[in-house]
Structure formats: structure tokens, C-alpha cells
Amino acid sequence: MPKLTVTTNELTREVPCTPGASVRAVLDAAAIWVRSGCRANGACGLCVVEIQSGNVPAPTKNERLLLSAEQLQRNTRLACQLIPDGDLHIRIIYVGGPADWRDLDARLLACTPARMPPSAAAQAAAAACGVAVDLGTTHISLSLWDLKRGDRLGGRVGPNPQSYYGSDVVTRLIAAGESGENAARMARITLDAIRAALLDMCARYGVSPAAVGRIAIVGNTPMLALLTETDGRTLLQPSSWTRPIECRPDRGQSWGSLLGIHPQATAEVVPPCGGFIGSDLLAGVLATRLTAQRGGLLVDFGTNSEMALWDGDRLWVTSAAGGPAFDGYHVRCGMPAEPGAIYRVDPSDDAGHFRYAVIGGGEARGICGSGLVDLIACLRSTGKLTATGRFVANGEPGFVIRRENPTLRLSPADVDMFQRAKGAIGAGIKTLLAAANLRAAEVGPIYVGGAFGQHLNCRHAQAVGLLPGVRPEEVELCGNTALAGCEQLLLSPVVREKGDSPRPTFAEMGTAPFFPAGAPELASLRQKTTVINLAESADFERLFLESLYLEPIRRVKQP
């Protein structure tokens, strides 16, 4: 595979070059930003790069129109128009940013096609564009839509800046409850992050921010509470862990102005289900059409992992503290699922060694969540790790993943963190099975949500007890089901909280930035949902301890 060597003002990087892809596409995939003001179609002339070495095709018509003869003579080209013939070394003249936001892999939105028939309400609305937002504990994901045509223009994903206040939701809720200043700042930095990603998308896809008039936001309950400055301390009380939590802000200034878009933009915060079960899980149920099956299970892995079990009549939902293990954070050698991360591990024919696959190719810089599952499963199958999570004595503390890089080491503490996250999720799944009076083998299709599931090896996940032992072909890796469902809500007609009148227009809304969420199928889904609080389950502690073992899930039907 040819390689692209990229030099900026700060560093030189080498990235794999997909045959037939433009330099701009290769740069975007590697999260190396070049300035741009169009949809990579050669209309703006800003993505200027200088050829240092390598063979390149003749300039395109757009390049001859937008670049001067002197520029072309100096081997200056447009990244979006340049398709390398082989190895190529370029220097980026106008570096874009910020690097915190990277392209959202379209495969993570497989539940929603890139083009959907827009609803009559969307076509009639004053807004030309809309944005769907999945507000996660660790990451914020967004996608920009042309509401008139029903086209997804692109997406971004980046870190949730609230991590400054803690990696888990409880720590952040406590911090927000300590002072109004903390609460206001946590809400503001989240809005600032959404604004940065939104404006970045507008610049890259040639959309005026003023054309963005609709925003739909889903997320877990604590994140929505912190965003809207709802008193999250109620979530720290066990009596609130199954009750609906209102997440509606009371602001004098519209979010349209705060986000730098249409000042009268409508921003819909889709209400959470109840307790720690957010609207992200309900959006995922819609995206996967879970309740259209005879039965099935959705597990949305993340820092706050949520599960929904459909038994054909009722939807049983719960959440568990998955911790940051599945996102690659807080693991000694962990990193998110981005270029440089080991995402797959398999035993090799050479006993005692494993084969590793790295996102984007090249040298491994760390291991992401799916790679961690694979590695632990491989260590178990080769006898290097016991069912209780202990390393078989090998003279070293843990397991060195790559001998050429001793810092890539899986430690006993890393395995313990994974076991605790897996144990909480395993206990949650078993609790739902017991409530629905089902055996693990009777679950039906299993839908795996979250970026963690994009590269997940289902057999390995089942071997260590992360997923029930159904047939592998019944497990579907769905990517970001929360954002996919939010997109469908963004483009679907909704009703008011009372009555069946259509979504209000800008004129009807005036300057009010919020209105009730009420997609008919979402309202119907809420009526069929039973929230289970694991903290109130008498069997939770036993099931949690039982699920710590690195072995398949086994659960008999309740008498």
C-alpha cells in the first residue's frame, strides 16, 4: 500500500494511502486537518499542499482555475483534487483545526442511511440544515444534515471536555452540585464543544452556520442534566433511580445564539427515560428497530453502559457503570479507536504469539476497547490468564503486547478494571433476563452499540462473558446507535406533548429555543418500558461477583 508523508509546521507523519483516495480523504482519515471551505469538491481552493517528492497526475480543471501558473510551477496542488500514483511526500501550507475533532466513521451510523426521505415537516421548515448530537460521557458525536434533501453532509466526534471534572458520571454530578459556578461552567464548556464541532462541519461542507435551524440532542441522563443545568443531585438519591428526570433548561438566551447558528434555531433535548437510562438508549432502540422483533437485546457499551431487552411485549432497561475501559481510557496502554490503536488480536500459528491489527496500519501506539477484549480472550484461550483474571507466572508483571515496545503492557490492574466493567454489564444482562424470564440462548438477535462495538470480535466477547452465547450470526455490530436514532428523530415529524398538532414553525416558536420531544413511536416506546434499578436488585451483588469470571454467560430460566 502506498504511503503519504505529511509535513506541517510542527511535525512529519507517515500514513497509509488508500488506492484511489484523494490526499484530502487520506488526511481526514488520519485526523490531519487542512484548511477548507467546501465539501472537498475543489470549489474553494483552500486545501493547498506543496509536493515535496513523488509522482502525481496532471492538474485537474479545478486546479488550473483556482491556482496560478506560478503555484503550479512550484508543485502547489489542491489536496481534494490530488490522487497519488504511489508514495508521496507533501507539505501542508494552510493547516486546519482543531485536531480535537475528527471525522465520524460513516460505518458507525450503519443503522441510518446517508440519505433518507425528509419528512414533510422538515421540508416545510424554515431551516435548511439540522444537527443530530449524541452527548456521551467520554465523547460527543455530531452529524450535519441537509433537511430539504435528506442528505447527511458529514459528522464529527471529539472528547467531552467535562472529563476535566471526572471520568465518570457520579464524580461530575458531585462536582456540579458543589457550586452553581461549577454547574454553569460544565454546561458552557459542553455547548462550546458542540459549537466548535458544528462550525468545523459548516466550514468543511460549505454550509452557512445561519442555515442551521434545528438541533436534536440525545444522551445519558447525567450528561443531559449537566448540559441543561438541571439539578443532578437528584440522580445521587436512590429514590430517583427509576423516575423520569426533567432535563429542560431555563435560559434567557437561545442556544441558537450560543452555538453561533440561526438565532431562532429550535434545540430539542430528547428527554431521558428514567433514572440513569437516557434518551440515547431509546434512540438506539428506534435505530435498531428492536421492538419490531419477536425479542432481542441491545447493549450500548460506554462509560455509562445501557441495556434494553425486548421480550415481545415489554422493554426491560437498565444501566451499569461500565467505566472507561471500553473507550480505551485508564487502561495503562489504552487509547480510543483511532489511527495507531490495536483493534484486533488473534492467536497465531506460532505458539505463544499473537497477530495484531492496527487502525490505519503502521506502528501500534496503544490498544482500544475491542482489542482489549480480543487480547484478554486470547490470553485465556492460551492459558496465560486464569478465569479469575490472574496472570500465569511468567516472570513479568502482566503481559508485554509488543516486544519492540515494552511500554505496551497489559497489567494486572488493567485486567481487574476490565473485569469490573464486564461484571457490571454481565450482572445487568442477567438481571434483565431474570425479569423477562428468559434464558441467555432465548434472547434472539443481539445489537451491539457504541464505537467500541465497531471492531468487536463476537466470539471473543462471548468467551469472556461480555455477551450472551447466542449464535454469532445473531450478533449485529451497529456502531453509534444513539446518534443514528437521533438522526431519525431529527428528520421525523413529532407532536406536541399534548395533542397531535405538528411541530411548530419558527414563527410559532418565536425565540423559545426548546420544545417538547414527542415522536409518536418514541412516546409509544416509553409506555412499554420498565426501568430496573440494579442497586435495588437483591441478586445484583451475587450476579456481579459471578460475572467477574472470564468465562461465558450461563443463566437458567427462573422458576
User: Helices marked H in 404-511 — which ranges?
Assistant: 412-436, 458-463, 481-491, 506-509
Taking the C-alpha atoms of residue 38 and residue 56, their distance in angstroms, rounded to an integer, is 23
Taking the C-alpha atoms of residue 515 and residue 526, their distance in angstroms, rounded to an integer, is 18
Q: What are the distances in angstroms from CA 454 to CA 287, 323, 326, 327, 460?
A: 16, 18, 12, 12, 14
What is the dihedral angle through the alpha carbons of 471, 476, 482, 483, rounded to the nearest 10 degrees? 170
* Ramachandran angles phi, psi of 236, nearest 5°: -85, -5
* Ramachandran angles phi, psi of 183, nearest 5°: -60, -45
Give the orientation angle of helix 412-436 with respect to helix 540-547, to 10 degrees: 130
**DSSP-derived pairing of the beta strands 405-410 and 315-321:** unpaired
Q: What are the distances in angstroms from CA 103 to CA 22, 28, 33?
A: 15, 7, 10
Residue 448: HSE in the Cβ half-sphere, 13 Å Cα cutoff? 22
SS3 content of the chain, % helix, strand, coil (to 5): 35, 20, 45
Q: What averages of pLDDT result for each successive group of 10 residues across the chain (559 residues)?
A: 84 87 86 68 80 92 84 90 92 67 79 69 66 92 91 90 78 87 90 92 89 92 90 75 73 72 85 88 93 91 88 92 68 78 84 82 86 94 92 78 79 89 91 89 86 83 90 88 92 50 36 44 86 86 92 60
CB atoms under 10 Å from CB of 164, counted, come to 13
Whole-number pLDDT of residue 250: 59
Dihedral sign for Cα atoms in the order 219, 223, 224, 225: positive
**DSSP-derived pairing of the beta strands 88-92 and 48-53:** antiparallel
Whole-number pLDDT of residue 329: 62
CA nearest neighbour of 335 among 434, 397, 408: 408
Burial of 558 (0-12, 13-18, 19+ CB in 10 A): exposed
Whole-number pLDDT of residue 163: 77
* DSSP label at residue 264: T
Whole-number pLDDT of residue 496: 38
CB atoms under 10 Å from CB of 506, counted, come to 16
Angle, alpha carbons 105-422-354 (nearest 5°): 65
Burial of 395 (0-12, 13-18, 19+ CB in 10 A): exposed
Which CATH architecture fits 102-282+483-520? Answer: 2-Layer Sandwich (3.30)
CA nearest neighbour of 249 among 240, 241, 258, 261: 258
CB 160 within 8 A of CB 139: yes
* Ramachandran angles phi, psi of 514, nearest 5°: -130, 145
**DSSP-derived pairing of the beta strands 296-300 and 446-449:** parallel
Taking the C-alpha atoms of residue 49 and residue 55, their distance in angstroms, rounded to an integer, is 14
CA nearest neighbour of 534 among 215, 156, 214, 277: 277
Cis upstream peptide for 98 (omega within 30°) = yes
Residue type, 313: D
CA nearest neighbour of 307 among 430, 416, 419: 430
Q: Which CATH superfamily is domain 3-92 in?
A: Beta-grasp domain (3.10.20.30)
CB 206 within 8 A of CB 44: yes
Full DSSP string of 26-59: HHHHTT--B--SSSSSSSS---EEEEEES--PPP
Domain residue spans in the chain?
3-92, 102-282+483-520, 333-410
Whole-number pLDDT of residue 419: 93
Element containing residue 24 per DSSP (H, E)? helix 23-29
